[in-house]
């Protein structure tokens, strides 16, 4: 007869293996939100309520690397602060898509140029001297890369990634705050 009892330690280990990365990304998201609030205090309330926009969408499975995830979150939060559309693909989402395509077939010069441009825009570490190679490729193919960037960001668009109606009870992380969305919530009540 086989012993099928599972110890509490085994259950916790399985839980950590399954969900540990999620909690780590949540911590990174909270940190990026705090940094964005410090950069844009006038938009701090909207930024605080933007946590749901930072999931990473379809590319989230490849956003387990901290620098990659943080770049994605930072770009979304900068859009929130600027009042821009948060739905188009981020630089990181496009890079992830291009690298996935490159696993099946080599990228064209323009595809490599777009990947290098957005890699650098995302603030990822310079790899294989992307920055040096990008200048040459941009000189030859900038117009085409511009067009492909627009198309790629549209292809990576996440229509669910937008702030809906925000309802706030005047508490952020359990602390009483003066939130512009709480005032709207109180007026509606």
Band the pLDDT of 188: cuts 50, 70, 90: low
Asked if residues 122 and 95 have their Cβ atoms less than 8 Å apart, the reply is yes
What is the pTM for the complete model shown? Answer: 0.83
Band the pLDDT of 5: cuts 50, 70, 90: low
Distance CA 50, CA 63 (A): 18
What is the DSSP code string of the chain? -------HHHHHHHHHHHHHHHHHHHHHHHHHHHHHHHH-GGGHHHHHTTGGGGS-GGGGGG--SHHHHHHHHHHHHHHHHHT--S-SPPHHHHHHHHHHHHTTSPPPHHHHHHHHHHHHHTTPPP-TTHHHHHHHHHHHHHHHHHHHHHHHHHHT--TT-S-------SEETTEE---HHHHHHHHH-
The pLDDT of residue 13? 59
Band the pLDDT of 43: cuts 50, 70, 90: very high
Distance CA 116, CA 112 (A): 6
Give me the residues paired with residue 175 across strands.
172
pLDDT digit string (tens) for 104-142? 999 998 999 999 999 999 999 887 777 777 888 899 999
Distance CA 127, CA 130 (A): 6
pLDDT of 185 above 70 = no
pLDDT of 19 above 70 = no
Mean pLDDT of 33-46: 97
Give me the residues paired with residue 172 across strands.
175
Q: Higher-confidence residue: 179 or 134?
A: 179
Q: What does DSSP assign to residue 60? A: G
Return the residue matching tokens 């739905």.
Answer: 87
Q: At 148, list the tokens.
A: 């492909």
């Amino acid at each position: 007869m086989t012993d099928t009892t599972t110890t509490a330690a085994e259950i916790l280990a399985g839980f950590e293996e399954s969900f540990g990365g999620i909690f780590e990304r949540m911590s990174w998201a909270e940190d990026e939100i705090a940094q964005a609030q410090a950069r844009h205090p006038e938009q701090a309330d909207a930024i605080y309520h933007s946590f749901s926009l930072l999931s990473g969408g379809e590319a989230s499975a490849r956003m387990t690397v901290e620098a990659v995830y943080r770049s994605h979150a930072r770009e979304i939060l900068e859009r929130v602060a600027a009042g821009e559309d948060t739905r188009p693909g981020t630089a990181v989402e496009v890079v992830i898509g291009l690298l996935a395509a490159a696993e099946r077939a080599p990228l064209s010069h323009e595809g490599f140029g777009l990947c290098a441009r957005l890699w650098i825009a995302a603030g990822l570490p310079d790899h294989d001297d992307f920055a040096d190679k990008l200048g040459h490729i941009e000189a030859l193919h900038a117009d085409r890369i511009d067009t492909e960037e627009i198309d790629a960001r549209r292809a990576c668009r996440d229509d669910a990634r937008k702030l809906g109606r925000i309802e706030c009870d005047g508490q952020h992380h359990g602390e009483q705050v003066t939130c512009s969305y709480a005032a709207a919530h109180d007026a509606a009540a």
